[in-house]
Structure formats: structure tokens, C-alpha cells
Amino acid sequence: MSEERDQYPGYIEKEFTFLIPKGQGAERIDLFLSRNIENATRTKIHKSIEAGRVLVNGKVAKSSKKIQPNDLIKCTIMKAPPLELLPENIPLDIAFEDSEMIVVNKPAGMVTHPGVGNRYGTLVNAILYHLGHRESIPIKATIDDEDEDENEVENDDETDSSTFLEPNDDKLLASELIRPGIVHRLDKDTSGLMVVSKNPVAHNFLANQFKERTSTREYLALVWGKVQDDSGTIEGNIDRSPRDRKKFAISKKGGKYARTDFEVVERFTIATLLKVRLKTGRTHQIRVHFSENNHPLVSDVLYGGEMYIHRGYLDSKTKSTANKVTELIKRHALHARLLGVTHPITKEFIEWETEPPLDFQQTLDFLRKEAVLQS
């Protein structure tokens, strides 16, 4: 494993000064600053105000402060330093590798690619080292912290149009991209199979398969409650939640079409194991579809997977069983068990399968024992 590193290196101060001219109408200071500081969102401005880094005539200002002519405003913005890609000696579980691509069994807890909050320990860091890179690679782009979080970036199988990996390419990441070779992605806490390209031809060929839905992707999902239908389809457009920017939701008026097919594998006293196939690849698709159909994924904090066990109609024994389940698996219970793609060179369709990791297996074993005891 790579050594533990600081995920949040020192931020860079950038100060802006404004002298309000005569004739300026009264305006909230947060609106004025977000309008006059390039690339500064209202979220970033509010953070600066809350931290006492916005002064009007030498006094700390509140967001509701109205600016007046001749006011002297000083605003200090804390910007995240530029990202870099650091090859790290992190063990990889490789299911397949040749000159064109690598198929990796990603563990739960590993972020796919670097971001401000996850600079190190990602799959990209590990892949770079595996391919022979040893020096850190600077990235020209700077990503604002409030615009980059794991729930936005780590999409469930959203295809990625970024660049590719070449072991001996000195111009690797000369662009502003931070996702070399990543064809599709998994959430941080989703385990399972991913394919990574090694050259531009392979990348385009593989990415088109995900875009055209000719690849095969199958998941195991453990959801709360007993799913009544043996199989079925969930459809519903998915868009960002208007209440919480970190979440997505089914939208009746906007969003993108999403379809999830499922089949019951096993029913337990309080949960159901499903085999899930995606017909589209929207952000958090599986998690959103089952949550909004009253069967959230076990331990999925973001989409109600913890609140489910606190519902009033569950008796004490059922709650005790549910609590034990959440102790065994502390991340949303989703595993990408099967991946199939057409090889870029041979044009052979190849599928790989992988069993769920230990936490998932132990949870299933516990539920099976509980079912036997209650039968």
C-alpha cells in the first residue's frame, strides 16, 4: 500500500480589492462579489464571508451587507493548489491485461481518479505506477473544492471522454484532464470490474461501446425489504436533486432517461439480493431507482439506506437484525460483478466475472443464517 498522504495540501490565498464607485446602487455583498470575481461561485463567496475573510471598510461583513458608494471591499479567496498525478505503488487486482487495456477489480473505498478531496490513493494513481511511471505529473487545471466531490465525480458507469495511458508518453496529461485511460467509472464505495484503456484507439473503441450500450454490465445489489416481483424494469428520468446538490433523483420534468432491469436472486427476511443490468448509465442510477421505489440499497447513507431501518413498523427483532447487517457492510451494498466488451483489436466479445468482496459475502452469509433460524 502507498504511504498515507495529506489529501488537503495548503490552500492558496488570493486577495481582491474593490472601491465602490459613485452611483453604485445598494446590492448584497455576496451577489456583488460573485458577479465581479471571475470563476467565484456564490458557494465560494459564502465560505469566505463565513470565515471572516470579507471586509468592508476594515470590518468583517455578513452576506446580507449592502454595499454603498465609496465602500472599500477586501475579499480573500482560498483556492485549492493545482492537482498533480502521483504514481503510487498500490496493489491492483487485475482480471485481464494486454497491450490495449486493463480490466481491474476495483475495491470499495477506492476513488477512480484524483480530485481536490482525493488527490492520492486513486485507481489512476495505481495504474500510472503499474504502467511504469515514477515521477509526479503536474496538471494545468485547478479544480475548485466546492465544485468537486465524490458524489459528482464518481458516477455509476458514466462513460468518460478523457485521454488515455501510454507507458512511455512524455506528453501524458499535457492537457487539463485528470482521468487518463478511464473509460467508465464506479462510485467510490462500489466494488467491481472496470476497464482502462492503454492507447487512444482502444479508448475510443471502448468508450463507444459504453455510449452505444453494446457493452455488458451486471451488478449485485442488496436492497432493504422484500422485492415482490421476480424480475422487472424501473424507468424514470434522473436529474440532480433540487434539495441536495450531492444527490440525484427521478425527475418528471427534466433529467435524462434511465432504465434499470433487475432480477431477484435471493430473498431474505429483511432484504433482497438482486441481479441488476443497466440499459443506461446515469449518475447513481441504481441507487436512485431503488431508493425511490422504497427499496434503498443496504447501508446507502445518501439515499436512505440507513433511515429505512428506523421506520416505525419494524419490530425490535427486525431492527436488531438490520443493525447487524449495517455493521457487517458499512458502504452501499453494490458490486459490479460482470463486465463484457468487444476487444479493440481482435473484435472478440469477452466477459469477466468477479465475486463480491468479503464484507458483501459476510452480509449474505448472515442473512442466510437468519432466514434459516426463522423458517
Q: Per residue of the chain (375 residues), give pLDDT as tens.
A: 444 456 656 678 889 999 999 888 889 999 999 889 987 888 889 989 999 999 999 999 998 899 999 999 999 988 777 777 889 999 999 999 999 999 999 999 999 888 766 788 999 999 999 999 888 877 654 444 444 433 333 344 444 444 444 444 433 333 334 567 888 889 999 999 999 999 889 999 999 999 899 999 999 999 999 999 999 999 999 999 888 878 999 998 889 999 999 999 999 999 999 999 998 888 899 999 999 999 999 999 999 987 777 776 677 888 889 999 999 999 999 999 999 999 999 999 999 999 999 999 999 999 999 876 665
Helix 358-374 with 316-328: angle, nearest 10 deg: 160
Q: State the cell numbers at 362.
A: 459476510
If you search the block for the grid coordinates 481482435, which residue do you land on?
346
C-alpha cell at 268: 431474505
Question: What is d(CA 199, CA 91) in angstroms, rounded to the nearest whole number?
Answer: 22
CA–CA dist 356, 340 (Å, integer) = 17
Q: Answer for the pair 197, 340: CB distance below 8 angstroms, yes or no.
A: no
Longest dimension (CA), the chain: 81
CA distances from 3 to 13, 87, 91, 304 (A): 28, 12, 12, 34
End-to-end CA distance of the chain: 44
> What residue spans in the chain does CATH classification 3.30.2350.10 cover?
216-348+368-375
Sequence ranges of the chain with CATH classification 3.10.290.10: 12-79
Cell numbers standing for residue 26: 445598494
Q: Could you tell me the three cell numbers for 199?
A: 492507447
User: Could you say which of 3.40.50.720, 3.40.50.300, 3.40.50.2300, 3.30.2350.10 is the CATH number of the domain covering 216-348+368-375?
Assistant: 3.30.2350.10
Phi/psi at 310 (5° precision): -100, 10
DSSP structural state of residue 99: S
Q: How many CA atoms lie within 13 A of 29 on its CB side?
A: 29
- Residue from 357, 191, 210 nearest 280 by CA: 210
Q: Distance (Å, rounded) from C-alpha 266 to C-alpha 364?
A: 10
pTM: 0.77
What one-character-per-residue DSSP string does 234-266 give? EE--EEE-SS-TT-EEE-SSSSB--EEEEEEEE
CATH superfamily of 12-79: RNA-binding S4 domain (3.10.290.10)
Active site amino acids:
187
Q: What is the Cα–Cα distance from 161 to 183, expressed in whole angstroms? A: 7
